[in-house]
Chain A
Amino acid sequence: MIRSTHLPLLITIATFLLAYTLCAWQYPSMLSTRVLANLLTDNAFLGIAAVGMTFVILSGGIDLSIGSVIAFTGVFLAVILRDTSIHPLLAFALILAITISFGASMGAMIHYLEMPPFIVTLAGMFLARGAAYVLSTDSVPITHEFYDTLQSLYWKAPGGGRFRLTGMIMLLTFAAGIIAAHRTRFGQNVYALGGGLQTARLMGVPLAKTTIGIYATSGGLAGLAGIVFSLYTSAGYSLATVGVELDAIAAVVIGGTLLTGGTGFVAGTFFGILIMGLIQTFIVFDGTLSSWWTKIVIGGLLFGFILLQKGLTWATTLRRKPAPEFAAQS
């Protein structure tokens, strides 16, 4: 039997398959491994950031800072590799430490100051973007042989598709995210927090540790997304990735995660990313449609999935409670 909590995930997967079939029906060449590989490579940084966003939204919060953190990471790496001679791996470790502690301090502010995550991460967004501007306002190219080595790593599939390292990192992140969400204590605490702060406290969930952990995860994954983005573009630019947080939120919602928290799947986010990537690919294939249709279609999909979630929540409360009038209002 299909449980209603699985239904949004199944609908997301069905939407993806339907959309892909429609695309392939119109343009048969979209079935090639080349398109699939590019879908993964082009959306790698967004996917990694969206995993972190999934945890945040599952806990009932929101993180508006990730786009700025990705840009800051790119600029930081570009500047540090230009001005010093340290190895990129050391720089990666350094930036991950910075972004994780950045996320953790936002989590601490949200928990200890009892402020809404929305406004705290808004401050974080300004801070990270401002820090990126202060480091450099120009686009700084990254020229390091280690970067070339990383960029040349790929597995060539039959049909000419190149599955690059960045796409693999995204898949690994999703795998780790799925395990963390469903098979660890931390994951269960995240779901409990999203189910209700008061209930979670009464159940003995360590609120401070979990909240800080969630935002540290989101910050760290945004840092990893920034590293992947810098591999993708070979440059650091403080104006890059404006609004990525919105794309990530959209992917999470299209992936069937309830924005009120408590219900959803990391795997759903993966299909959310693929659907959004598919829309872009279709527009590129079509050639006559303008790029702004991407925004409109994603907005429409967002609306559709929010309505679906509302309908499902309403249907379940209707079944459980005899007085739907009051249940719908709460």
Chain B
Amino acid sequence: MKHHINTTLRRIAPQLVILAGVLLLNFLVFPDFFRIEFQHGRLFGNLIDVLNRGAPTALLCIGMTLVIATKGIDLSVGAAMAIAGAVAAALVVDGHSWQVALLGALCAGAVCGAWNGVLVAVLRIQPIVATLVLMVAGRGIAQLVTEGTILTFLNPGLIHLGAGTVAGIPTPILIWLGLGLAVTAIVRKTALGMLIEAIGINESSSRLAGINSRVLIISVYLISGFCAALAGVIVAADIKGADANNAGLWLELDAILAVVIGGNSLLGGRFSIIASLLGALIIQSVNSVILLSGMPPELNLVIKALIIIAILVIQSPTVKHALYILRASADPIPPGSIKEAKESPQ
């Protein structure tokens, strides 16, 4: 057990260091950053804000991590969020309870995910292309549900999911933490995680080894759609309305970025949901630095781009190989080289 925790810690160490660095930067530009207060029955503070605002990206990256581990990608999560938000809003506006609305939204997300999964696993269309269809058509479908308007609602139960608190902690934080832990537990306490990794590393051989890759691939897209639906409901509940055009716009890219920052290879294989969640928090903390330091928010995208480029350079097989040779030539029997070789993807 202790050994297991040690490996996990070693895996997420780079993400923890980066997160600590970004949080420290936050502290430097805004000394009150770490202060958390308890007022009017809920926690207040910048740290809580980071956890709360990062909820949609964090939720999306749970499903995205699994999809990317199978060597896939899901571009449609932003559109699925818009559809789920629209369905939830339409249901409460029609006078249904918030439970029905939530269930309807989750079903809508699951249908979106299943559609993607069938295109990828049964019709064998490349994931980028298969999910592009829903990415293009999805916002149109969401607008069909909201009939082109921003559907506003006042249902307290639904709003509670996005803006309420449970025991002083904002609900979105509890939702993403809970789902993240649950999915991690399911894939790591059973063989599912290993099977998903096997599909990502080599689908043909995993199939020959007896893995039902078709069902597993459909399920990971289903989970991704489910996560997107939850994120969509939270975003809609937060603004008390479903905006088919802007809900979750470009969040698919943030989710993919979170997975990449989490050190997961886009080429499939080994994955860590915890590292992806840390990636989502890193993105949100960077946003927070930019806002708190008074830099123009326009710089946000430039900084994100620079982060991606830096990670690309670090993760690139060419650079890894060069570093390996450099280290090997500096030290005849390099103690770290064996570990390094194990970590680099095939």
Residue interface mask B120-148, A partner, CB < 8 A = 1: 00011110111011111111110110001
B267 near A130 with CB under 8 A, answer no
Contacts of B8 in A (CB 8 A): none
What is the CB-to-nearest-CB distance from B302 to chain A, in angstroms, rounded to a whole number?
A: 3
User: Which among A112, A123, A293, A307 is the interface contact of B305 at CB below 8 angstroms?
Assistant: A123
A114-B317, A130-B299, A295-B140 as given contacts; A246 in contact with B308, CB under 8 Å: no
B256 within 8 A of A: yes
B99 within 8 A of A: no
Contacts of A130 in B (CB 8 A): 298-305
Contacts of B137 in A (CB 8 A): 295-296, 298-300, 302-303
> Please, how many angstroms separate the alpha-carbon atoms of A123 and B302 in the complex?
9
A253 near B312 with CB under 8 A, answer no
> Please, how many angstroms separate the alpha-carbon atoms of A300 and B133 in the complex?
8
What is the CB-to-nearest-CB distance from A32 to chain B, in angstroms, rounded to a whole number?
A: 29
Q: Which of A78-86, A131-139, A142-150 contacts B (4 or more CB under 8 A)?
A: A131-139
Interface size class of A (residues with CB under 8 A): 35 or more
What is the CB-to-nearest-CB distance from B147 to chain A, in angstroms, rounded to a whole number?
A: 8
A127 within 8 A of B: yes
A116 within 8 A of B: yes
Interface residues of A in 116-131 (CB under 8 A from B): 116, 118-120, 122-127, 129-131
A290 within 8 A of B: yes
> Please, how many angstroms separate the alpha-carbon atoms of A329 and B144 in the complex?
37
A329 near B204 with CB under 8 A, answer yes
Taking CB as reference atom, which chain B residue is nearest A110? Answer: B312
Residue interface mask B244-260, A partner, CB < 8 A = 1: 10000000010011001
A249 near B132 with CB under 8 A, answer yes
Interface residues of B in 249-298 (CB under 8 A from A): 253, 256-257, 260, 266-267, 296, 298
B134 near A299 with CB under 8 A, answer yes
Which secondary structure dominates chain A's binding surface? helix
Most buried by A among B299, B302, B303: B302
Taking CB as reference atom, which chain B residue is nearest A109? Answer: B312
> Please, how many angstroms separate the alpha-carbon atoms of A130 and B286 in the complex?
15
> Please, how many angstroms separate the alpha-carbon atoms of A123 and B257 in the complex?
10
A119 near B302 with CB under 8 A, answer no
A259-B129, A306-B129 as given contacts; A134 in contact with B302, CB under 8 Å: yes
> Please, how many angstroms separate the alpha-carbon atoms of A27 and B12 in the complex?
62
Taking CB as reference atom, which chain B residue is nearest A313? Answer: B124
> Please, how many angstroms separate the alpha-carbon atoms of A260 and B207 in the complex?
23
Given pairs A134-B299, A246-B132, A299-B136, 4 additional interface contacts (CB within 8 A): A112-B318, A113-B316, A115-B315, A296-B137
29 A-B pairs within 8 Å (CB atoms) are namely A109-B309, A113-B319, A114-B318, A115-B312, A116-B267, A118-B128, A122-B256, A122-B308, A123-B309, A123-B312, A125-B305, A126-B305, A127-B302, A130-B299, A130-B305, A131-B302, A134-B296, A134-B302, A249-B132, A292-B140, A292-B148, A293-B140, A296-B140, A298-B137, A299-B133, A302-B133, A310-B123, A310-B124, A310-B125
Identify the 7 closest CB pairs spanning chains A and B, nearest first.
A299-B137, A295-B140, A130-B301, A133-B298, A130-B302, A126-B305, A127-B305
